[in-house]
Amino acid sequence: MKKTAVVWASQTGNTKEAAELIAGEIGREQVDLFEVSREVALQLPEYEMVIAGTSTWGMGELSYGWREAFPALGDLDFASTTVALFGLGDQRVYGDWYVDAMGILYDRFVARGATMVGAWPNSGYEFSSSKAFRDGMFVGLALDADNQHHLTKERIRRWVCSIRPHLD
């Protein structure tokens, strides 16, 4: 298995919970699990596979941990790294910015040379706009712990199955 990191930023605990479920689905002993910080971000190019999670705050903003780490990502080379993203948001209350932070991370990783995997279909979601919605798909796994918590475990299971070939 590729050297893999699951990294997240969580302000309410929902993104951390999703990260732990993803790590468990892969095999907890096979991944390094981190809360993001500037220091952690600087280590990410050492991994062959990075699974990064973020929630979206306010009107489409990165959560605190990613805001701190984001500038460091701009100086790193991810040309040898495969990246899969997962994002959390509230599609009903914040439907104009649903999982926007995932789209912001996507653009930064692409700009730094990462190979992106893990696009996710938009069926079963109700939102107006999203920076993470491209060419009819989300750029990563979209989760809504506020309105669709009951779907989280199954969505994670299916998504991990879809990215598993990139882990080997």
What pLDDT shows up at residue 58? 86
**Predicted confidence pLDDT, tens digits, the chain (168 residues):** 899 999 999 888 999 999 999 999 999 999 999 999 999 999 999 999 999 999 999 889 999 999 999 999 999 999 999 999 999 999 999 999 999 999 999 999 999 999 999 999 999 999 999 999 999 999 999 999 999 999 999 999 999 999 999 999
Write out pLDDT tens, residues 55-89: 999 889 999 999 999 999 999 999 999 999 999 99
Q: Find where tokens 């306010």 sit.
A: 58
Q: Which domain CATH number covers 126?
A: 3.40.50.360
Question: Among 81, 77, 78, 88, which Cα is nearest to 140's?
Answer: 88
- pTM, entire model: 0.96
Number of domains making up the chain: 1
Q: Find where tokens 């999203």 sit.
A: 130
Q: Which domain holds residue 10?
A: 4-167
Other C-beta atoms within 10 Å of 124: how many?
Answer: 11
